[in-house]
Chains A and B, each alone.
Chain A
Amino acid sequence: MTLTPVLTDTWDKDRSWRLATYERAGGYAGLKKALKTEPADLVQAVKDSGLRGRGGAGFPTGMKWGFLPPPDGGPRYLVVNADESEPGTCKDIPLMLASPQHLIEGVAITSYAIGCDHAFIYVRGEVLHVYRRLLNAVEEAYKAGYLGKNILGSGYNLDVTVHAGAGAYICGEETALLDSLEGLRGQPRLKPPFPAVAGLYARPTVVNNVESIASVPAIVAKGADWFSSMGTEKSQGHGLFSLSGHVTRPGQYEAPLGITLRELLDLAGGVRQGHELKFWTPGGSSTPIFTAEHLDVPLDYESVGAAGSMLGTRALQIFDETVCVVRAVSRWTDFYAHESCGKCTPCREGTYWLKQVLHRIEAGEGQDSDLDLLLDLCDNILGRAFCALGDGATSPITSSVQLFREEYQAHIDGHGCPFDPSASALFAYTPKTRTPGALAGAGAGGH
């Protein structure tokens, strides 16, 4: 399978982030065409394209737009989820740095299609230059008449506000994001009602991921069939695959859905020289881990699901044989415990306990019953948590205990970690500490 640069196609141009660069590459052809098209036909085109949400869950984008109730004269909103914080996920940030106009054009087309005249981009606060680029891109688009009043003479008006968050993974969850955008603590809302019915300020709202929205202009300009000519039957189109970790050339690889890790690794120069693949995440830390056995699983929603994980955000974190799976999973668990918003008991208490148990296993103080205790705790979180953060916290644990039970047991039996933590680093060093006691600060002082 070959790579298919669409979103990445302008990234190597001089001053790729400028509007002029984007226009020279054919940018805003989609918006020009869209403004001469009936909004309902645009929604239909996105449905026909097969585009599914690129933010993790893979919900069909056109269908989501179609869920908005008929216009009642009141406002309707588009909110772009640019919170990108799922560990391993690193695609939206480079996109917005290199080519923010892709997103802005997508915002304009989507807003027109759903009847919105004020759209928001909620970007995580920890990426200063990305925020600058977005502010600048919006200003450039206003000046060129792609945003603002009477866009390109069409009579259509749209304002776009770029809003910076302030550090909270949970604000990537769409309803927590809406609460945060309303100036509240970012905690998930009970669904239903879904945002399509009662979203921002309790008005009909579409929440979509950056990459989903950035994919819209080309679908409109080149047609739904063009998009669905890429990918598999049910997972259509192109997607950014982000390779990180122990791989020779980490980075962004834009390919049709359905490409395999084997093919991607082949392009990326393989696993770190002299080492071999041990485990990997297909879609970020919240997706059950895979091993070398899964190298040929097509990376599309259905195949990854059938193999027991989730395509998620195509965040392919590669770990070679030097990495201790207990250390890796324990650290992810610190993350979930730190980021748990505290709204529901299974997640708030459960992630805390998971963290304690993993820390003691990692420190060589685990007991034989701890593995079952971990699985039992996971059982009490999965399906009982208020939002998907809690569920996601269990994925790395249950999958790794299943695949690497002996490695956990070795920590318990050997009263410590059998791995040299420096072996996995990219540079040589002498570890100062080897116990997770040193990590205590990581999870402290959470929400």
Chain B
Amino acid sequence: MTADPVETATRTRYDADTLAALTADATAIMERYPNPRSGLLPMLHLVQSIDGYVSRDGILFCAEMLGITAAEVSAVATFYTQYKRHPNGTYTVGVCTNTLCAVMGGDAIFDELSEHLGVGHDETTDDGAITLERVECNAACDYAPVVMVNWEFFDNQTPETATALADKLRLGEDVAPTRGAASVCSFKQMSRVLAGFNDGRADEDAGTGEPTLAGLRIARERGWTAPDGPDSEPDRRGETITGEPGSSAERRPTTPSDTQVGKDKKPGEDAK
């Protein structure tokens, strides 16, 4: 980058207002890091929040901000699957077809959606509403089969729920994930968050799913806790006191560990 103000030196075709806003945001991004180049990934998300994909102008803009070549920016942008080379739909609908989700029904969901929408992997519906994708494991396997809409979780899907979801998206209706915010935002809004600009929606909560709590529920029912530490703070966490209904003292033995003393059991392993 030269010493000229970006406005006069730019090769991008952004209008003055857009460019000024982009420049301010990109500057804020670069300030987060000891080395401004670290800002490239968030900056590419920022570009997508304006253009809906990594456009030619977006590439030039990043290059100008960081003082690197457009080729260097392109090399990075093409490496990562979330950076789109074509204008993305308002919603990315990603069906997990990695092994676990696939066999649990993900393949069927993808096939059904693909037929229903008339598009294949990484293609966008004519109305520009939906870009359909096969996605890799999204760390929600305990909720398989999983569909992601603009990277919010839609857990335990079926072909019927997924097509109904897609229909709503095409009609422009609000949809709510099963875990996440109260509603799904647009691809551009999402991209702005991924650029590191908090949209203030963290407190929205579609609920903590049962699988997330599966082990904890059992521990609560049976009065199981981790051992107490010697110098821990007063423990306000255990909600069941030994001898009360639901505690292990009252519970009938149900698992082998209730009746057998494990040979290598250590003190404190059975908490109560």
* Chain B binds chain A: yes
Asked if residues B100 and A317 are in contact (CB atoms below 8 Å), the reply is yes
- Alpha-carbon distance between A12 and B221 when the two chains are bound, in angstroms: 13
Partner of A242, one of B40, B141, B233: B141
A315 to chain B: which residues have CB within 8 Å?
Answer: 141
Asked if residues B122 and A185 are in contact (CB atoms below 8 Å), the reply is no
Q: B99, B108, B180 — which one has the most chain A CB atoms within 10 A of its CB?
A: B99
B196 to chain A: which residues have CB within 8 Å?
Answer: 135, 162-164
- Alpha-carbon distance between A16 and B207 when the two chains are bound, in angstroms: 11
B252 to chain A: which residues have CB within 8 Å?
Answer: none
Beyond A17-B203, A425-B104, list 9 extra A-B contacts (CB 8 Å). Answer: A5-B226, A8-B216, A86-B137, A88-B141, A97-B179, A201-B35, A229-B268, A424-B104, A433-B111
- List residues 205-252 of chain B with CB under 8 A from any CB of chain A: 205, 208, 210-220, 222, 224-237
Interface residue total, chain B, C-beta cutoff 8 A: 112
Whether A367 is near chain B, meaning CB under 8 Å from some CB there, is no
Asked if residues B202 and A132 are in contact (CB atoms below 8 Å), the reply is yes
- In the complex, identify which listed stretch (A260-268, A357-365, A407-415) lies at the interface while the others stay far away: A260-268
- Alpha-carbon distance between A439 and B35 when the two chains are bound, in angstroms: 41
A residues apposed to B, CB below 8 Å: 1-6, 8-12, 15-18, 24-26, 29, 75, 84-90, 92-94, 97-98, 118, 124-129, 131-133, 135-137, 139, 161-169, 180-186, 201, 218, 221-223, 225-226, 229-230, 232, 238, 241-246, 249-256, 263, 266-268, 285, 315, 317, 319, 323, 327-329, 331-332, 335, 338-339, 341, 421-422, 424-427, 429, 431-433, 438-439, 441-442, 444-445, 447
Whether B136 is near chain A, meaning CB under 8 Å from some CB there, is yes
Whether B259 is near chain A, meaning CB under 8 Å from some CB there, is no
Partner of B140, one of A90, A223, A331: A90
Asked if residues A266 and B255 are in contact (CB atoms below 8 Å), the reply is yes
Listed by A's residue number, 10 A-B pairs whose Cβ atoms lie within 8 Å are A4-B225, A126-B94, A183-B37, A184-B40, A226-B229, A245-B144, A254-B219, A425-B145, A426-B145, A429-B105
Asked if residues B215 and A253 are in contact (CB atoms below 8 Å), the reply is yes
Partner of B203, one of A10, A136, A252, A447: A136
**Closest chain A residue to B230 by CB distance?**
A223
A24 to chain B: which residues have CB within 8 Å?
Answer: 236
Asked if residues B264 and A327 are in contact (CB atoms below 8 Å), the reply is no
Q: B42, B112, B211 — which one has the most chain A CB atoms within 10 A of its CB?
A: B211
Cβ contacts B135-151/A at 8 Å (1 or 0 each): 11111111111001011
- List residues 108-165 of chain B with CB under 8 A from any CB of chain A: 108, 111-112, 115, 120-122, 134-145, 148, 150-153, 156, 158-159
- Alpha-carbon distance between A129 and B180 when the two chains are bound, in angstroms: 5
**Closest chain A residue to B270 by CB distance?**
A2
A11-B208, A11-B213 known; A132-B201 Cβ under 8 A: yes
Q: B137, B139, B269 — which one has the most chain A CB atoms within 10 A of its CB?
A: B139
B222 to chain A: which residues have CB within 8 Å?
Answer: 2
Asked if residues B226 and A238 are in contact (CB atoms below 8 Å), the reply is yes
Asked if residues A223 and B141 are in contact (CB atoms below 8 Å), the reply is no
- Alpha-carbon distance between A338 and B134 when the two chains are bound, in angstroms: 12
- Alpha-carbon distance between A11 and B213 when the two chains are bound, in angstroms: 7
How distant is A55 from chain B, measured CB to nearest CB, in Å?
A: 13
How distant is A195 from chain B, measured CB to nearest CB, in Å?
A: 15
Whether B181 is near chain A, meaning CB under 8 Å from some CB there, is yes
A246 to chain B: which residues have CB within 8 Å?
Answer: 104
B49 to chain A: which residues have CB within 8 Å?
Answer: none
- In the complex, identify which listed stretch (B1-9, B12-20, B80-88, B166-174) lies at the interface while the others stay far away: B80-88
Cβ contacts B250-272/A at 8 Å (1 or 0 each): 00000111000010111111110
A332 to chain B: which residues have CB within 8 Å?
Answer: 98-99
Whether B41 is near chain A, meaning CB under 8 Å from some CB there, is yes
A88 to chain B: which residues have CB within 8 Å?
Answer: 100, 137, 141
Asked if residues B108 and A425 are in contact (CB atoms below 8 Å), the reply is yes
- Alpha-carbon distance between A426 and B148 when the two chains are bound, in angstroms: 18
- Alpha-carbon distance between A329 and B255 when the two chains are bound, in angstroms: 34
Partner of A250, one of B39, B142, B229: B142
A18 to chain B: which residues have CB within 8 Å?
Answer: 203
Asked if residues A335 and B231 are in contact (CB atoms below 8 Å), the reply is no
How distant is A246 from chain B, measured CB to nearest CB, in Å?
A: 8
Q: A185, A327, A341, A444 — which one has the most chain B CB atoms within 10 A of its CB?
A: A185
Partner of B81, one of A8, A167, A249, A317: A167
Asked if residues A221 and B193 are in contact (CB atoms below 8 Å), the reply is no
